[in-house]
A and B are shown apart, each in its own frame.
Chain A
Amino acid sequence: MRAYFKALFTSALLVLISLPSLSALALDCEEARTEVYFGNGMFNSRLAAGASARALEKRLRNENVISNDQLVGVAYNTNEPALVQLLQVVSQKEHENSARFYLWLSNLALAPASFRNEALKVAQQIHAEAFIKDGDLKKQLEAYVALMKTGGLITVVAHSQGNFYANAVKRTLLTQENSSARFAIVGVATPTSSIEGGGPYTTLTQDQVINAVRLAKGSLVANTTNSIASGLGHEFVSQYLKGDRSGEKILSDIKSVTTKMIRAFARPTKSELAYQDPSLEPFLRRACMLKNTHRKFTDGECIALTALDRTYSWNGEPREERSIKGLRNWISDCAKDYWNDKERFDFLHCSMLGDNSGLDLVGFGSPLKMEFVISDHPECHWHGTEVGLRTNEHAIAEAKRFIESPKYP
């Protein structure tokens, strides 16, 4: 009975102790939510555009560019007269052509040469002014602006004629203060002569549609060649996203533009900074960036943030306590990703240099001193097998780089 009450008392005490940590303030960052939209080309139905967006989403998720629960949306556009024109021409030639119209539009490689030639002619005739409908552009612009007002950082992966709309949106935003930096374009198979705002683009040398358009309209030069191409070399998923070189380039471009936006907008709020030691700002800024990239922390980042926590945990300055609470949430999240519960417990409570090292970071007032300890003791490790394995030289070197230069690489 006595043991029962003891256990009950201990549990209650533990709950009471853990309450403040549960309600600990998270690191207060400005809202900088990345959102990716696929701007489709002219031959896409809503369904086909959605299918391309999902393929892009899958690739971005596998490469940790977006979080597991993040989705890629569709910035849909189409041009009815152009498609009606194509339908009229092809159905006059052969009845079967209209029966398979949408199957062939979704994959021109499946279409007979006569259909492909007509599709090429239509694509060649279309130019931005004729393609864009003012009403559609207005709708799209308003939707983007609404997202940006709530902290959205928009990346539009624009394929083919989708570039007309993305460019027009960016052009309008450039005339509006403060909003254009929240909107970036990654051009793919671009028929335009530029990407507004100087965004990156990928056009295949094997893309026969854009090669034909270029002759008529002076599109940007092709800048990528895949080992293998099929059909007209123009489809977003089969040719560009799955292409051995174009796929990598598109992904790298998306990472690059989103990182650039996060860098510009992900930062601690002014009220958060008001409480901080100024020397902490670059670290907190980096932590805000990490938060918004939606990816797991690397081992090095985890070690560095833990070290930062340790460095300041017992510094005794009351104004720093708030930031430590915020950081601890981070560290807990990062530890949770890497280690199971028991080891996380060990990790967060053990001494930086191990139980028997006789050294500790307690009382260090500056990350530079922590760096000194790591430099002098590369064998630094935490107890716990998994933790020990992960605390290798590479991770420590990465942590050191983080501490020496907290600005995002």
Chain B
Amino acid sequence: MYYKEKVNIKRIVAIVIAAAALVIVSFFVFQIRQSALVTGSNTNPAVHDEVDANGVRPDVKREIEKLYPTPGPERNAATQLARALQRAIAAPEEALVINEEFEAATACLLAVEKQADKQADKQTDTRHDSPPDDSVSRSIRIESFVINSKERARAYIRYNANLSGQLFPGIAPDQSRCDNEPMPTKEE
């Protein structure tokens, strides 16, 4: 009788311990999931879009062609920026590497627009020459062409979050950071 009781007590203690352990484990799992939900780190929101030989989606290509109707360095630079942005949403966890591409594209865009500006107005005082506001608004429009759905926005938020806390030096116009001529695509 005594033995049987002793066994029961042991069993009860074991059950209580197991239940407590289960509660504790569940609590931590819940906490981790909640925390992951808040930080968004539980999922990789990367998108896998179909892109052409230049790394740009067809819809983005069309928008860029509308923005820059004439083929040339400006359109190429815009394509380079669009490609960097597309890479950003395809691999948001590689943000620091892709940021290099983004900076190269921006430096190119600034150089090309500066050049275009000089050609348009040779009287411009080059000492005070600086990126025109146009390059600012156009780069933001290119961003909006690429980031145009909830999934893409989610991936882009993640990409930017991976850059948070960094100090980035300013970007100077630099023609040498322009990519080569874009590849001809099927439509061409």
Contacts and interface: CB of A to CB of B under 8 A. Distances in A.
Contact of B39 (A54, A80, A138): A80
* Main SS at interface, chain A: helix
A53 interface: yes
- How many chain B residues sit at the interface, stated as a range, is 35 or more
Given A73-B170, A133-B165, A103 B157 contact: no
B29 to A, nearest CB: 20
Given A99-B148, A102-B153, A46 B169 contact: no
B9 to A, nearest CB: 48
B38 A81 contact: yes
Contacts of B85: 47
A340 interface: no
B54 interface: no
B171 A71 contact: yes
Interface string A311-327: 00000000000000000
B156 A45 contact: yes
A162 to B, nearest CB: 12
B164 A78 contact: yes
A102 B147 CA distance: 7
B170 A54 contact: yes
Contact of B168 (A50, A55, A68): A50
A54 B40 CA distance: 30
B133 interface: yes
Given A58-B130, A71-B171, A76 B148 contact: no
B127 A68 contact: yes
B150 A58 contact: no
A144 B128 contact: no
A143 B167 contact: yes
B132 to A, nearest CB: 8
Contacts of A37: 167
A55 B136 contact: yes
B23 interface: no
Interface string B11-27: 00000000000000000
Interface residues of A, number: 52
Interface in B157-181: 157-158, 160-161, 163-172
Contacts of B169: 71, 73
B139 interface: yes
B182 interface: no
A87 B157 CA distance: 10
Given A51-B140, A102-B143, A103-B140, A57 B170 contact: yes
A339 interface: no
Contacts, number: 137
A341 interface: no
Interface in B37-60: 38-40
Contacts of A143: 166-167
Interface string A77-112: 111110110010001000100111111001100000
Contacts of A126: none
A50 B172 CA distance: 11
A46 B161 contact: no
In the complex, which of the residues B40, B160, B161, B172 has the most CB atoms of chain A within 10 Å of its own CB atom? B160
Contacts of A95: 150
A54 B153 contact: no
A136 B171 contact: no
A195 B167 CA distance: 20
Contact of B157 (A61, A80, A136, A139): A80
Contacts of A50: 106, 168, 171
A99 B167 contact: no
10 contacts: A46-B99, A71-B172, A78-B163, A79-B164, A80-B161, A84-B154, A91-B150, A98-B149, A107-B140, A140-B167
Given A50-B168, A61-B128, A140-B167, 20 more contacts: A37-B167, A46-B163, A46-B168, A54-B135, A62-B128, A70-B170, A74-B167, A76-B166, A77-B164, A80-B40, A80-B158, A81-B39, A87-B157, A98-B153, A103-B140, A103-B144, A106-B144, A136-B165, A140-B165, A143-B166
Interface of B: 38-40, 85, 99, 102, 106, 110, 127-128, 130-131, 133, 135-137, 139-141, 143-144, 147-150, 153-154, 156-158, 160-161, 163-172
